[in-house]
Amino acid sequence: MIDAQANPRIYLRLIALVAALGAVSSLITFVFIFLVKVMSNLVWGQVQTASGLDARLFTLIVCTAGGLLVGLLVKFFGDHSGIFAEVMQEFGKTGRFNYRHAPGIVITALVSLVSGASLGPEAPLADACGSLGTWASDRFKLSPQETRSMGFSGVSAMLAAFITAPLGGAVLGLEAAQGGSGEDRKEYFWVLFPSLVASASATVVYVLLSGTFFETLYQFPQYSPRLVDLFYAVPLGLLGGVVGLLFMLSLKQLQKLFLPMKKHLVLRGVIGGLGMGVIGALLPLTLFSGENQMNDLMSGGAQIGVAMLIVLGLTKLGATILVLSTGWKGGYIFPIMFSSVALGMALDLLFPNIPTPVAVAATMAGVLVAVLRAPLFSALFCIVLVQKETAAVVAVAVVASGLITSLVMLRAARRAEAREKAAG
Domain assignment present for residue 303? The answer is yes
Shared domain check, 149 and 51: yes
Assess if residue 384 is contained within a domain: yes
Instruction: Name the more confident of 290 and 212.
Output: 290
Q: Same structural domain for residues 22 and 168?
A: yes
233 and 121, same structural domain?
Answer: no
Q: Are 26 and 202 in contact (CB under 8 A)?
A: yes
Amino acid 263: pLDDT: 86
Q: What is the pLDDT of residues 93-144, one digit of tens each?
A: 788 888 898 999 999 999 999 999 999 888 899 889 999 999 999 999 998 8
- 219 located within any domain: no
Same domain, 313 and 359: yes
Give the integer Cα–Cα distance in Å for 211 and 19: 20
For 236-294, the pLDDT digits (tens) are 999 999 999 999 999 999 999 998 888 899 999 999 999 999 999 999 999 888 777 77
pLDDT tier at 183 (50, 70, 90 boundaries)?
very low
- Quote the mean pLDDT of the chain: 85
Q: Does residue 121 share a domain with residue 28?
A: yes
Q: What 8-state DSSP symbol labels residue 389?
A: G
Residue at 222 is within a domain: no
Q: What CA–CA distances, in Å, run from 361 to 150, 230, 342, 376?
A: 33, 12, 11, 14
pLDDT above 50 for 206: yes
Closest-CA residue to 316 (of 162, 119, 124): 119
| Cα of 299 vs its chain's centroid, Å | 24
- Which candidate, 372, 363, 342, places its Cα nearest to that of 85? 372
Task: Please determine, for residue 185, whether its predicted confidence score (pLDDT) is greater than 60.
Answer: no
* Same structural domain, 183 and 315: no
3-state class of 331 per DSSP? strand
For the whole prediction, is pTM greater than 0.75? yes
Domain end: 210, 240, 264, which one?
210
The answer, yes or no, to whether residue 200 has pLDDT greater than 60, is: yes
Domain boundary among 210, 239, 255: 210
Measured at the CA of 184, the angle between CA 376 and CA 136, to 5 degrees, comes to 85
Q: What is the CATH number of the domain that holds 129?
A: 1.10.3080.10
Check residue 173 and give its pLDDT: 61
Q: What is the DSSP string of 200-262?
A: HHHHHHHHHHHSS----S---S-----HHHHHHHHHHHHHHHHHHHHHHHHHHHHHHHTGGGG
Domain that holds residue 275: 227-423
* C-alpha–C-alpha distance, residues 237 and 364, integer Å: 8
Mean pLDDT of 329-354: 89
Asked if the structure places residue 2 within a domain, the reply is no
At 406, is the pLDDT very low, low, confident or very high (cuts 50, 70, 90)? confident
Distance CA 210, CA 365 (A): 28
Specify whether the CB–CB gap between 245 and 238 falls below 8 A: no
Per-residue pLDDT band for 218 (boundaries 50, 70, 90) equals: low
Is the separation of the CB atoms in 22 and 160 below 8 Å? yes
Residue 180 burial by CB count (10 A; 0-12/13-18/19+): exposed, middle or buried?
Answer: exposed
- Separation of first and last alpha carbons in the chain: 42
Q: Is residue 352 part of a domain?
A: yes
Give the pLDDT confidence of 36-77 residue by residue, as tens digits. Answer: 999 999 999 999 999 889 999 999 999 999 999 999 999 999
pLDDT reading at 216 higher than 80: no
Strands (E), 247-309: none
Q: Does any domain span residue 221? A: no
Are residue 269 and residue 366 in the same domain, yes or no? yes
The count of domains in the chain is: 2
Distance, in Å, from the CA atom of 355 to the CA atom of 219, rounded to the nearest integer, reads: 13
